[in-house]
Structure formats: C-alpha cells, structure tokens
Amino acid sequence: MLPLGYSSNLHAAETLDEVVAHVVPFARSVRERLGWQRMGIDLRLGLAALAGGTAAIAALRSALDAAGLSAHTLNGFPLRPFQQARVKEQAYLPDWSEAERLRASLDLLSAALALSDEPLVTISTVPGSYRPFGPARNDARVIATALGRWAAAAAIIERDTGRTAVLCLEPEPW
C-alpha cells in the first residue's frame, strides 16, 4: 500500500531554495498536525529547480529528511513557472517533441533516485504535447522516440541498481 502524500503543486516554488523555504515547512507542518513521523510528498520540480545540479538535490534531500518528509513521487508536468495568471498551454512546454523535455526528464529521473531510497520511483509528465500546437509538435514518432530514450535510460538504471523508475503520462483531454 502506498502512503498518503502531500502535493506541492499549489506552492509558487521554482528554485530549490524556494522549495526548501516554502514547500518543506508547510509540508512539515501538515505532517506534524497529522502526528506522523514521516510523510510522503509529491514534489513538483521544474527547470529552475533542476538547474542546481546534484549538490542542490542532495541539499534538498537533507532538508526533506530533517523535516520528516520523503519524495514519494516527482511531478515534472509543468517544467516552467506554474503559478501564473495564465498557465494552460504553457504547462505543456517543453513538450516531448523538444529535446529539452527529454533532458529535463532524465534530470528528474536522477533527482527521483537521489531523493528516495525506495526501490520504485515515479515521475509524472506531460502526455506528449498539446493538440492545439499543431501536427509538427504532435508527431507520434518523435514523441515515442523521446519516451523510448527515457525508458532505455530507466532500464539501464534498473539493470545496474535494481531500482525501477516509472514515467507516468498524465491524461489530458487534448
């Protein structure tokens, strides 16, 4: 059975410093009010947070551990700032037709493995592209190739470490 977790999507936190300053204390407060020793968190990490590299991810792990929190899953759907007046189509960018989405999703894979000791890590992502962007950005072969490259990287990690990573495509009406 998977534990109940706290979603960090509602927090305007783009950098890892902002995640530590705004998300971690709030989630810790929720955990304390519930009387739990440890609580899972669905942690949204975008491009700005991933830019800090492995040292910054290690510092985030230390902050989560100190607060009695664990990153049960990472949300990589909106990679760009998410707390804006208008988000809709911008939340899909970069989409899986862009190399930037694959690079960021591989960074999320590394972050998920560093932030959790669990044998299974999950990362949610955009389901491909956004139909109104047009056929060039919705080319199934391009999207499938990028997803396949991510899956190949995850398969190598599983072979080498025994840890499984699952990329969860969030269903969207587009």
pLDDT digits (tens, 9 = 90+) for 82-140: 766 666 778 888 999 999 999 999 999 999 999 999 999 999 999 999 889 999 989 99
Distant-in-sequence, close-in-space partners of 173: CB < 8 Å, separation ≥ 6 = none
Cα–Cα distances (Å) from 60 to 18, 19, 138, 165, in that order, read: 11, 8, 35, 20
Dist. CA 37–CA 62, nearest whole Å:
16
Whole-number average pLDDT of the chain: 91
Residue 108 lies in a domain: yes
- Structure confidence at residue 109 (pLDDT): 98
C-alpha dihedral sign at 59, 64, 72, 117? positive
- Above 90 in pLDDT, residue 54? yes
- Structure confidence at residue 84 (pLDDT): 66
**Residue 50 phi/psi, 5° resolution?**
-70, -20
How many domains are contained in the chain? 1
Provide the pLDDT confidence category of residue 1 given band limits of 50, 70 and 90.
very low
Share of the chain above pLDDT 90, in %: 75
Domain residues for the domain of 163 are 5-169
Query: What pTM was estimated for this model as a whole?
Result: 0.92
In 3D space, the residue among 130, 121, 112 whose CA is nearest the CA of residue 2 turns out to be 121
Residue 130 lies in a domain: yes
Please compute the mean of the pLDDT values over residues 48-61 and round it to a whole number: 94
- Structure confidence at residue 10 (pLDDT): 73
Please compute the mean of the pLDDT values over residues 150-157 and round it to a whole number: 98
- Please name the residue that has the structure tokens 């792990």: 61
- Structure confidence at residue 141 (pLDDT): 97
Provide the pLDDT confidence category of residue 5 given band limits of 50, 70 and 90.
confident
Please compute the mean of the pLDDT values over residues 54-78 and round it to a whole number: 94
Residue 174 lies in a domain: no
- Above 60 in pLDDT, residue 73? yes
75: which 2 tokens?
A: 């949300």
